[in-house]
Chains A and B, each alone.
Chain A
Amino acid sequence: MGEVSLVDLSKRFTLKIDKAEHTVQALDRLSFTVADGEIVALIGPSGCGKTTALRIAMGLDFATGGRVMVDGNVVKGCGYDRGMVFQHAELLPWLSALENVMFGLEMKGMRGATLRDTAMQYLRLVGLEDSAKRRPYQLSGGMQQRVGIARALAIDPKVLLMDEPFGALDAQTRESLQGELLEIHKRTKKTILFVTHDLDEAVLLADRVVVMQMGRLEQIITVPIARPRDDLAAIRGTPEFADTRYQIWRALHARETVH
């Protein structure tokens, strides 16, 4: 199981700009649910609160109202039921690829031979068993993010939370990693909630797309493309792809047309 619910999630904080205090409403009663095994994309303009929502779901940030629940349990901080993939991978530069994957497992309490074997197994899952001994700066950006995904998956979380995981990569690397993520999802059936600003990525990967505007839920759009989505290139040519992409685009620009 791995159902994530955001219930009336609010976050406000005060910013001090030039002696004047501004109250910023980063999240305003945001509610949606990600079903077990589902992939949901969180999309919106920068500053709309999508990353804040994800960080609260992870337990790295705290809400001022509402709650996040994973399988009915209220989130009170970080936990092994959730695995985080950071935007820039954030590998520990003094550890090898393998040791980076081992890090999370060690924190979870795994020791001995199983530790190395399990880490290696997840490196293999992301296709990096040959680069196990390389340190992060000896890996390309795409490879670093693969290690980041392996590190998060290795602790066997119920939910994978990803903060613009492919946003910092070049277009070709991004496309191949998107395909790999779908492959991993097919095999592991993890629930995935990811933040993106890339419309194509949202349509290609997600079952549903949550569009946010200024801390609020704007619209939830269901992607009518069946799984398994093995041929992403072909999907890009389908009318469903174009139509869903346009719907999201409309939702993203809904506020602009007013003024």
Chain B
Amino acid sequence: MSARLMQGDEACAEAALAAGCRFFAGYPITPATEIAETLSRRLPQVGGKFIQMEDEIASIAAVIGASVGGAKAMTATSGPGFSLMQENIGYAAMTEIPCVIVDVQRLGPSTGRPTSPSQGDVMQARWGTHGDHPIIALSPSSVREVFDLTVQAFNFAERYRTPVIMLMDELVGHMRERIVLPEFESLELEKRTDTRVPPEWYKPFENSPEGPNINVPPLVPFGEGYRYHITGLHHDERGYPTNRLDEIQPWIDRIFRKIDRSLSDILLYEADSIEDADTLVIAYGGTARAARHAVKMARERGRRVGFLHLKTIWPFAEEVVQSAAARLHHVVVPELNRGQLVLEIERVVGRQKVRSVNRADGEMIRPAEILAAIEDLEGAI
């Protein structure tokens, strides 16, 4: 495909279409509105449906309803709307309904600075809804990455029957870059698994320990002859509410297992120059751009600095970080918050090694700030 100038939000919308998304429900909010506007125009062109709902709670609810009807479905919002969506994100996790939720992060808390970037929703993406549940969250750092990770988000949602959070930020969402999109025909797209059993044998929440659908039972859309029940209550394999511990525990085990056993597929990251490094910079999202530049500057000054760019934020890439940082002296973690993902990194590599570089005022972290932290630490060796 030819090169074109594209905004991050627009790339997210186009990627959703390329991934097979045919339903979007949303509510206007800066800095995610462009995703809704693009899809209001583009979805009906491909026979899909767009609806602007009365609020973000209704938006995520409609997305889940559409997914139950068999459509790949997405919503997009920012912090205040993401907060409102949390209960139904939990419902999607509980009922294992695939869907994609885009959060273009802006500075919070509350209304905050709507047009300023932030990475303040990292922990909310993980723990925003009540109760224990696994989640997948991806965070892009460029317009092309927005495209690629949005396609991935749909694939993960379908493959693991789970809500997937696209954790963008205002910087990436509103930035325009020259990008070359992949040929859509070349994209590998996940289809919803079909069941091979007749309706009377179908168990939409089967906890089978073996067989082709281990950990992720097929989800048959409503209206295709498999009349079953979906509920946010704890349920048995057929979807009926249950209080039996011998039915609840296998379900809990399975929904965590389906993510934990697939980390090699889910964890997306890039490691750069870590072989000879004694300091490692770990970054994600828009901040990864400044981090990459800072690492380059440090290398030019003869410093042995490596870079780990995390694209999958949740589940946290524990073993990746551990093995990358094991023999290093220092780890520098720049984030546009008061220190969120760094808590996970400290848990894995130990607090002594880790230095946070934080901004939570709506301004970006400059490469020079990260470089200063690197040099400060190296001076301390």
A joins B in a complex: no
